[in-house]
Structure formats: structure tokens, C-alpha cells
Amino acid sequence: MFLTIVVFILVFSLIVFVHEIGHFVMAKRAGIKVEEFGLGFPPRIFSYKKGETVYSLNLFPIGGFVKIHGEDGKKKDDPDKERAFYSKSIWTRAKILTAGVAMNFLLAAVLLSLGYWIGLPAITGDDQTVDAKIQIADVVSASPADQAGIKMGDTINAFKLGQETINISNISQMQEFVDEHRGEEIIVVINRGNQVLEKNITPRVVHSETEGPLGVGLVKTAIVSYPWYKALYKGFLSTIQLTYMIVIALGTLLWHLVMSGKLAMEVAGPVGIFDLTNQATHLGFIYILQLTAILNIHLAIINILPFPALDGGRLLFLAIEKIKGSPVSGKIEGIVHTSGFALLILLMIAVTWQDIAKLF
């Protein structure tokens, strides 16, 4: 558990650091005064000042910020108004706001490229058996697999029935065996990271077509690697593909939420992401790297949404300023962003509560 906590903090610190460094560098390049660059949220543990900028390490490690002079609007008698955020053109301010998201996408592409060079798990055809394995892609809540403690990412090696051991080499073979022994207790031999575990499980006799007797989604995977130049191409291409898939999934989720008032799929909050990190930590470094890349893309997409308090919300106000020819009242913008931040906190609490409820 300690290792998972360390990995969780390091993963989010990396994501936040890269995001904030995008804002920081772009603001500096625009000649804007940057008052503070902080990792974590206050209270402050350590800080030092270099030039005009304070660099700080703060107590709460999940998060970070860049304090840009004039970001909150005009101030009377500002001696640094020429170097304030509000004094720059709309285009310059837009570049600063989008720089963080751009850096997250770039980091995702770099991590995936590195992964493809080292060797990333990839889905293969069921007829391919070289260095391949049957892996759990999804576990249905309250299913026999879920109750037995089988988790996403586990690799199925064999089944035991009495004294007999049946090695598994492809998905169809596994499905046939499970179908033949519905209602009987069998032992599933799985790999989880470096552990070999045995789980007692009884396949359901009655089940829906979409869930199956065990309640798992299966894929056949193999570790695939490429030369560095192909790995770069694959990494950037996968980032584009994942971005498209996540945008479609998010759009579907929001559409169903608006139309029915219900979420069409499960949403993971901090607790859910911590659980995913725990699973990736047990599976190994390459899975942590893959998860970090995917989280980068998720957080970049969410951050660019036109919602108050997010970078996308601030971009929306810049668009309104461009259309009307003058800035929106600082007081109104402040109220909108504060309200948006409060809604985000409430949403985070609701999702976290949902994550915790799933654990018990």
C-alpha cells in the first residue's frame, strides 16, 4: 500500500508539474511577471526565491499552481501593469491558458512512445500465441469474478477442477471450459504482477449475454515493441486515437446525463484512480507508464472544457471579450469561477463517495 501511495503521488505530481510548467514557460516568454510556482497546495513547507519568482513545495502533494501577476484582473495603481496578464493581447493570454493542456498531451505522447520502444501490452488476435496471455479487461460489479477478487489486469493462466489442471492458451478455449462448468466451483489460476494467485469461483448458470458466466471482459495481449523511430510515430498516433475515444465517451456520458439525469457509465474519482494505480503498481512499471499517459489525456480534455474555474472556462471569457470588444467585469468573472470551483468540489465529493461505496 505504501508503494501505491508513493506511485500515486509521483504520477499526479508529474502530471501537475508538466501542466503548470506549460503555463509558467509561456507566461515568462510573454514577459509576464510570475509571482510563484508551487507544487502541492498550501500550507507551504519549503520555498526559495529566484529573481522575481517564488518556487514552493507545499504540504498537500496532489495539485499545484502558477501565480501569474494580474491573472485575477486589473488592480488600481499597479506598478507592474505592463507585465500583467490582463495587459496582454487575447491571443497571448489564450496561448498561456492552453499551454498547460498542450504539455499534458505532449507528455502522454512521449510516455506512450517510450512505452512502445520498451514494449507495451497490446491486444492481439486469438490465433496468435507467441508471448501472448489472456488478460482481464473489465470486471462486472457483483459478478462471480468480482466476488472472487479478480481484478482488471489479472492474467489467467489455467483452471483447476479437482486434481485436473487445464492450461489456457486462447479466449475461446477459456469460454468453452467456463460454459461447460457453469454452477460448479472451479479454481482460476491468475498472475497479478509477480504474484501467482488461485481464486475459487462458481460460474453463473443464468447470466446476461453481455456479462457471461464469470462477469469479465477478456482480451488477448502481448508485449509489443518497435524501433525508436516507429515508437515515436505510434506514441503520437495512439495519443490522437485515445483523445478521440475519450472525447466520444465523455460526450456520450454528458448527453445521457442531460437527457436522463443518470450517468451512462461509471466515473472514477480520486479513490477510483488510486485503485487503478494500485493495480498498475502490482502489474509493473510499463502499466504505470501507460496509466500515467491515459490520465494525462483525461485531465487535459477535462481541463479544456468550457467550465468555470478550468482553463477552458477562462478561454470562454476570452472569447466573450473578443466578441463584445471589452473584458467581462472582473467581479462577475470572479463570481462565476468561484461558483464553478465550488461545483467541481461538490462533484468530486459525490464521485469520491461513489468510489468508496463500491469498496464496501
Catalytic center residues: 20
Instruction: For cell 471589452, name the residue.
Output: 326
Residue 313: φ, ψ to 5°: -65, -40
Calpha distance 191→42 (Å, rounded): 41
State the DSSP H helix or E strand holding residue 351, giving kind and residue range, or none if neither: helix 330-359
Closest CA to 90 of 324, 313, 304, 321: 321
Cell numbers representing residue 237 in the block: 498516433
Neighbours of 197 (CB within 10 A): 14
Instruction: For cell 477535462, name the residue.
Output: 302
Length of the chain: 360
Instruction: For cell 484582473, name the residue.
Output: 73
Half-sphere exposure of 100 (CA within 13 A, CB side): 27
Q: Are 22 and 95 in contact (CB under 8 A)?
A: no
Task: Assign 71 to helix, strand or coil.
Answer: coil
Q: How close are the terminal C-alpha atoms of the chain, in Å? A: 18
